[in-house]
Structure 1
Amino acid sequence: MNITFFSSKPYDQQFFNEANAEFGHQLRFLEVPLNAQTAVLAQGAGVVCVFVNDVVSEPVLHQLADNGVRLVALRCAGYNNVDLKAAAALSLPVVRVPAYSPYAVAEHTLAMILTLNRHTHRAYNRVREGNFALTGLMGFDLHGSTVGLIGLGTIGIVTARILKGFGCRVLGYDIRPTAECQEIGVELTDLDTLYAQSDIISLHCPLTPQTHHLINEESIAKMKSGVMLINTSRGAIIDARAVIKGLKSEKIKYLGLDVYEEEGDLFFEDLSGKVIQDDVFMRLLSFNNVLITGHQAFFTTNALNGIAHITLQNITDFEQGKSLVNAVPFEKSPPMTV
């Protein structure tokens, strides 16, 4: 099939071209994001392949359908950027990659926790300047700490396993917990208890109407003073302005973000020669106890291989009229898992 990729980067082209040797589709890569202004570029494609910050709204879907697009293929797990009701009305199936490498995101989560705790990023800069003083770099033992995980899907479970290996007490919340959670020693609890008892809170849930700004002034007030907060899921789960207040009051002592609510205008681009206009984002960068990465938690060779193969298999199944095992049903709200 003819596939047009939006928001593509050189690494997308590399991994999809390599994987496509097995499938034989016609691939066309565009660097521009999908939105109402660029949807016309999909003309002639049977499939569009989109990423996390592409806009797949009702007007965009109408344009895609009018241009002959028959399938929307997400090369990611989340689908909060797609108007699923509009897609269903247009008989446009939507497929995704529900699991590629959960280890990639889980391990990045631990990298952020360890970096913030031991101030590795600050120590690196000090040593490069010949400053070997340890003042201000004191951390704490991760062993024996209580970590709360919100979202116990595939990534949450892998994160829990790693944390248990460090000797942490792991609390977990999910609206649909599996038996595996308790088998590996996760203590299932409600959100208020998780907020009150956790030294570290890590988010692993999708963005839904129920999780939008789940972390807000009210929930932050329920947390332990000096809490570490990590988000490698979706940016809008956190109210950034509320978190800034928490940082200023020192309720939040450490903040690690791989995602940001308004990241669509920032992440995946080189803006080093420009003035960033997002005042909230720049305020977050001003704190020395905040670590931000540009949505790179998924970014491993293992994950990109998995994403490419599963995406192209989804498209092949559609082309051959097979059951779409990774289709996103519009009538169901996504569970609090990833």
Structure 2
Amino acid sequence: MKHLPSILMYDTKPYDREFFESVNQRYGFTIKYLSDRLTDDNAILAKGYDAVCLFVNDYVTPKVAEVFASAGVKLIALRCAGYNNIDLPSVYGKIHVVRVPAYSPHAVAEHTVALLLALNRKVHRAYWRTREFNFSLTGLMGFDLHGKTAGIIGTGQIGRLVAQILGDGFGMRILLHDPYPAGEWAASHRFSYVPLETLYRESDVISLHCPLTPQTIHLINDESLSLMKKGVFIVNTGRGKLIDTKALIQALKRGHIGAAGLDVYEEETEYFFEDHSDTHIQDDVLARLLTFPNVLVTSHQAFFTREALTNIAETTLKNIDDFFSGRSLENEICYQCDMASCRKKETGRCF
């Protein structure tokens, strides 16, 4: 009889349980749901489980990796695309890691455009005004997106969809930057790949869709901000650390930035996904950011659609089933994945 693995899921919300329970009816895995995020102290709770399921703010430090390995954990199943929260060298050769590379690019792309439209047409400000019976138009003027230039940094699935919505849908001129250009796709839409400096200088709107790597940390900083047009709109639905928030705040204070739409924040771990309405925010940088009328912050919700949550649960549980059934791991990652020493291409697994 096939062994059904037991799974410990950290940082679980009611909606996680709803979607995973629905999909798990096909698999019959034993899943224990914990509301707490993973820490060095509670990693030991994984003892006796075959796999752990983690989200973006569950950090696998070298200490956690050691505890998991000693506890008999064989698989870390990320229910997210990013994996910068995993110390990959610490788990390599001991615990396999799988992820959900694409759960709903449409969800994130649509939220990106929603932030841009809300900021441009001041929808968030108008909402609060009219609730107080203030129907004045003063301070609510926007601009036509048609004919303006949008710069898209990162042209994976999400970046391409945003480019198509803004270019094909709104009639914007589209500039692209990616170290791995999709030239055929860009040509078919009459979009242009350009150097970063050109994108910074010519874009009226800049949208970030690149992964967080050592090369992209604080991609938006004092220097890059100084190259941008006065009044530029910046939207980030990628990773918080793509933007140096203190530099962004200074540019906002100078009036150089027209608006910023942020679904992520570089120090979001302590705040996002939780209700802090009855407490004071101790993060002075975040608190200052929230004071600007031309900044719209959402709580890492770009992915949050029914379709995306269904895909996350389906891919995560399939990853787990593939591992314990001995099949190739399409979505496995390791710190050698881009190196010749990774065995995934030959064996279907990284080690």
Output the TM-score relative to the length of structure 2. 0.93
Aligned mates of 2:50, 2:207 — CA distance in 1: 39
Aligned residue-pair number: 333
Partner of 2:196: 191
TM-superposed CA distance for 1:199, in Å, is 0.2
Could you tell me how far apart the structure 1 residues matched to 2:172 and 2:58 are? 37
Q: C-alpha offsets along residues 24-76 of structure 1, whole Å, 9 cap, x if unaligned?
A: 11111101111211111111111111011111121111111111100001101
TM-score (norm 1): 0.97
3-state SS of 1:94 partner: strand
C-alpha deviation, 1:329, in angstroms:
3.0
Partner Cα separation in structure 2 for residue 219 and residue 183 of structure 1:
29
* RMSD of Structure 2 on Structure 1 (CA): 1.1
Is the contact made by 1:145 and 1:168 (CA closer than 8 Å) also made in structure 2? yes
1:208 pairs with one of 204, 213, 218: 213
- The CA deviation at 1:333 is 5.8
Look up the equivalent residue of 1:249 and give its one-letter code.
R
Q: Residue 160 of structure 1 is aligned with which of 142, 159, 163?
A: 163
Q: Does residue 288 of structure 2 align to residue 257 of structure 1?
A: no
Matches within 5 A, 1:119-158: 119-158=122-161
Letter in 2 for 1:280: V
Partner of 2:342: none
Q: Report what 1:17 is aligned to.
A: 21
Offset from partner CA, 1:87-115 (integer Å, 9 cap, x none): 114x2111000011100000000000000
Q: Deviations over 1:198-254 (max 9, x none)?
A: 000000011111111111001100111110000000101110000000101111110
* d(CA) in 1 for partners of 2:65, 2:308: 28
The structure 1 segments of at least 4 consecutive aligned residues displaced by more than 4 Å after TM superposition are none
> What letter matches 2:175 in structure 1?
L
1:166-181 to 2 correspondences below 5 Å: 166-178=170-182, 179-181=184-186
Match of 1:79?
A: 83
Is residue 33–residue 54 contact of structure 1 (8 Å, CA) maintained in 2? yes
1:238 matches 2:277: no
Ranges in structure 1 where 5+ consecutive residues have no aligned partner: none
CA positional deviation for 1:121: 0.5
Shift of 1:181: 2.8
Could you give the per-residue CA deviations for residues 282-311 of structure 1, whole angstroms, max 9, x where no partner exists? Answer: 000010000000000000000000000000
Hey, what's the Cα distance between the residues in 2 that align with 1:60 and 1:224?
45
Alignment partners' CA distance in 1, 2:115 and 2:157: 19
Q: Residue 25 of structure 1 aligns to which amino acid in structure 2?
A: F
- Write the letter of the residue equivalent to 1:227: V
Range with bigger deviation, 189-198 or 40-49: 40-49
**Counterpart for residue 41 of structure 2:** 37
Among all aligned residue pairs of Structure 1 and Structure 2, give the percentage whose two residues are the same amino acid.
Answer: 54
The residue that corresponds to 2:344 in the other structure is none
Deviation at 1:316, TM superposition (A): 0.2
Which of 314, 317, 335 is equivalent to 2:319?
A: 314
Q: Residues of 1 paired with 2:287 and 2:207: CA distance?
A: 22
Output the amino acid matched with 2:23.
A
**1:271 equivalent in structure 2:** 276
Q: Give secondary structure in 2 for the equivalent of 1:3.
A: strand
> Unpaired segments of 5 or more residues in structure 2?
340-351
- The answer as to 2:288 corresponding to 1:283 is yes
Secondary structure of the residue aligned to 1:63 is helix
The equivalent of 1:94 in structure 2 is: 97
